[in-house]
């Protein structure tokens, strides 16, 4: 183990999906909240990271997104505005790709020695 490591990093049985908003999401965010254009302009700098179960068929890179895009889409929308009547409909995989850039990563390494705790909702 390298001297700079304080403990042995561990790989976890998750894949990561990094989601970044594209211009249509930014435009929507600015349009639904008249008081928030100053905040909406910085949304392009924000990313969300979702941990997904490992896909047993790693050669099929689209499977995880197909399984999770609806939930991720709704989480991204609700992070900005909770009135579902103002959310785009229908929320399809094609629309998800228009509104978000999503990059999957198959190796997730936990550098912290302590346990992972879920935040209370």
How distant, in Å, are the alpha carbons of 14, 52, 100, 112, 114 from that of 11? 8, 14, 27, 11, 14
Whether 3 maps to a domain, the answer reads no
φ and ψ at residue 14, rounded to 5 degrees: -140, 155
Whether 82 maps to a domain, the answer reads yes
What is this structure's pTM?
0.80
Which domain does 34 fall in, by range?
Answer: 14-108
Whether 6 maps to a domain, the answer reads no
Residue-wise pLDDT for 85-112, tens only, equals 999 999 999 999 999 999 988 888 888 8
Whether 54 maps to a domain, the answer reads yes
Residue 80 and residue 112: Cα distance in Å, rounded?
30
Token pair 């999957």: residue = 104
Whether 31 maps to a domain, the answer reads yes
Residue-wise pLDDT for 8-30, tens only, equals 777 888 889 999 999 999 889 88
Residue-wise pLDDT for 48-85, tens only, equals 999 988 765 555 555 678 889 999 999 999 998 999 99
Residue 34 and residue 40: Cα distance in Å, rounded?
10
Whether 119 maps to a domain, the answer reads no
Residues 72-83: b if buried by 16+ CB within 10 A, e if exposed:
bbeebbeebeee
Domain count, the chain: 1
Structure confidence at residue 15 (pLDDT) = 87
Residue 44 has pLDDT above 80, yes or no: no
């Amino acid at each position: 183990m390298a001297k700079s490591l304080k403990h042995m990093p561990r790989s976890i049985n998750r894949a990561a999906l990094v989601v970044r908003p594209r211009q249509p999401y930014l435009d929507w965010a600015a349009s639904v909240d008249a008081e928030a254009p100053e905040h909406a302009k910085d949304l392009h700098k924000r990313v969300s990271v979702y941990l997904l179960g490992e896909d047993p068929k790693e050669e099929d890179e689209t499977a995880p997104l197909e399984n999770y895009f609806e939930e991720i889409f709704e989480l991204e929308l609700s992070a900005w505005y909770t009135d579902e009547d103002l959310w785009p409909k229908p929320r399809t995989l094609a629309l998800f790709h228009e509104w978000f850039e999503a990059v999957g990563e198959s190796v997730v390494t936990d550098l912290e020695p302590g346990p992972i705790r879920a935040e209370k909702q």
